[in-house]
Structure 1
Amino acid sequence: MEAEKRKTERFVVRNGAFVAFGNSLPKVGMLKDISKGGLSFEYLYDEKPVGNESRVDIWMTSKEFFLREAPCSKVYEITPASDYDDNQFSSTIMNRCGLKFRPISADQSAKLSSFINTYATQPAP
């Protein structure tokens, strides 16, 4: 996604932040960057793509933070190249997914702001 399309600045977060996106069988992965408008995360490769609209949970492994069921929509999903299996130097294949928050509650917005202020380390490239 091109940076100029984003309405809010994204930030890299410190290690230990995770995301679960989806309904019945959510994709769980590492949070890569976040803003008040959305986030991106990486999860272990799976041929089945994630759905387009759902809710997302965000948490820290240290149990210091948990945001539950923020409404969101998938903006993009990047899957590995078809020749990735031929790469002998890579043992873990990851998908990357970008989400846009849909209208969230005032409480969720306050928690999201707190998360960014507490766990963001630098602006995302």
Structure 2
Amino acid sequence: MSMLQEFKEFAMRGNVVDMAVGIVIGAAFGKIVTSLVSDIIMPPIGWATGGIDFSAMKWIIRPADNSNPAHKIPEVAIAYGSFINTIIAFLIVAFAIFILVKLVNRFYTKAAAATPADVVLLTEIRDLLKTRQ
């Protein structure tokens, strides 16, 4: 079997295609959550904390030096505000996935709740046979 044929079989497996779809949807969902955090959630939080913009918060280790135009030295800083935004985005994504999984599990539980009559009958027969032994 040629390498091209093996790759084709690998790429066309159901799991690989499902995973690719999940990754694409996850990337799009990540952009939505990023917009939700930066455009909807963070402004009220900033307002509630007195107008603090988390994304602009940073600890400057070495300030920029632009005194010599030929040799500009960029600022060195730890941007902990961006880290706070990322943590909030992660918590929102985790909560959204939790709610989604909870809804899917509820759907599957309702679908599996109705046991067919023949399965009920077979279960009763099995239980009766267990009591005879």
Is the TM-score greater than 0.5? no
TM-score (norm 2): 0.21
Which structure has the larger Rg over C-alpha atoms?
Answer: 2
Structure of higher RCO (CA pairs closer than 8 Å, 6+ residues apart): 1
Higher strand fraction (1 or 2): 1
Higher helix fraction (1 or 2): 2
TM-score (norm 1): 0.22
